[in-house]
Structure 1
Amino acid sequence: MEAAKAKAKARGVEPGARRGRITGGGAGANGQSPRRRRWSGPGADTRDPQPLGRLASRLAVDRGWNTRLANGQVFGHWARLVGDEVAEHAQPVALKDGELTVRASSTAWATQLRLLQGQLLTKIAAGVGHGVVKRMRIQGPTAPSWRKGPRHVPGRGPRDTYG
């Protein structure tokens, strides 16, 4: 080993220094061409495989789908967000500009939902994210229309309550 070190010193090469590979122009400090791919090594790299969830969320952010996905989560996870009992008697109808329209199965449940509105908004914000649902509009069941046909009597019609 000593003889090899002495011979290298005689040629002008410092012992222990590694020689880079001779390439065409543009070789980097380590002797490799910048165009040549290198291994990413043990650390994180942009070329490493990414989890599918991270790629999907990045795609949603790039395409501007975040608000639509959050709106879809309100409808898709309704029973989990508000609870099974409430979900049995109330269904989300529309979500536009932060206002969620909910249709109740009866007028009694519509009143109950109006009383629980603050708690429901808190649960929805915890499950989906803040700012997705800002207000709720609660509707009772719809009554049938009695104004049918070409000959109807003008006026208020029957005053029975439905639901």
Structure 2
Amino acid sequence: MATGRDLARSALEAARAKAGARGTEPGVRKRPRTGGGVTGAGRQSPRRRRWSGARPDERDPQPLGRLASRIAVENGWNTRLTSGRVFSSWDRLVGDEVAEHAQPVSLKDGELTVRATSTAWATQLRLLQGQLIAKIAAQVGHGVVKRMRIQGPSAPSWRKGPRHVSGRGPRDTYG
């Protein structure tokens, strides 16, 4: 009666004989010399593996922030996102005291327009302009804000209603 060991030995000898007839050794696979992609019998070529190796690969799981920043760069959204960061984190960028008295209005071509609550604060912001640009550059990135345009509070308008007559306004009736 044949044991399991005898059956395994005879199967190995049969495989060796079959491989010898083909001219190859058993257990050694020949790889097809084709380009990337799927080969004839539905197998994948060696250049396109199904698994990732020991080193980092683009198919490995990536952190969400890295994927989002790559998508933003590919689609050209970087400038919009950085300007959005200036507006959304204004309090943190310039400090609570300055943020209480000044709000960003627009950011176009590196020029940040800021509206102050009073003319005194507008003057103060003009004096602090260099320091504020440096703070913003340190936290958001260099080149996002290159210069600042400081505006004081808007003056009251005497125009009331949809129609308007040109002239000097209320001073017209006094003289």
Corresponding letter in the other structure for 1:34: S
* TM superposition outliers: structure 1 runs of 4+ over 2 Å: 11-14, 25-28, 35-39, 147-158
Query: How many angstroms apart in 2 are the aligned matches of 1:47 and 1:103?
Result: 47
Partner of residue 126, structure 2: 114
Q: Could you tell me whether the CA contact under 8 Å between 1:90 and 1:105 is conserved in 2?
A: yes
- 2:31 paired with 1:19: no
Partner of residue 79, structure 1: 91
1:156: Cα distance to partner? 7.2
- 2:64 paired with 1:52: yes
Query: How many angstroms apart in 2 are the aligned matches of 1:62 and 1:34?
Result: 30
Partner of residue 155, structure 1: 168
Instruction: List alignment gaps of at least 5 residues for structure 1.
Output: 159-163
1:65: Cα distance to partner? 0.3
Question: Deviations along 1:63-115, whole A, 9 cap, x unmatched?
Answer: 00011111101101101110010000000001111111100011110010010
Partner of residue 161, structure 1: none
Give the superposed CA RMSD.
3.2
Partner of residue 34, structure 1: 45
1:13: Cα distance to partner? 7.6
Higher normalized helix content (fraction of residues): 2
Query: How many angstroms apart in 2 are the aligned matches of 1:140 and 1:130?
Result: 26
Q: Could you tell me whether the CA contact under 8 Å between 2:158 and 2:169 is conserved in 1?
A: no
Question: Deviations along 1:24-48, whole A, 9 cap, x unmatched?
Answer: x5579xxx84077432132212211
Q: More relative contact order in 1 or in 2 (CA 8 Å, sep 6+)? A: 1
Corresponding letter in the other structure for 2:102: A
Partner of residue 142, structure 1: 154
Corresponding letter in the other structure for 1:63: N
Cα 1:139–1:157 change in 2 (3 A) is farther
Cα 1:19–1:136 change in 2 (3 A) is same
If you compute each CA radius of gyration, which structure gives the higher value, 1 or 2?
A: 2
Question: Deviations along 1:139-163, whole A, 9 cap, x unmatched?
Answer: 11111112446686833767xxxxx
TM value normalised by structure 2: 0.69
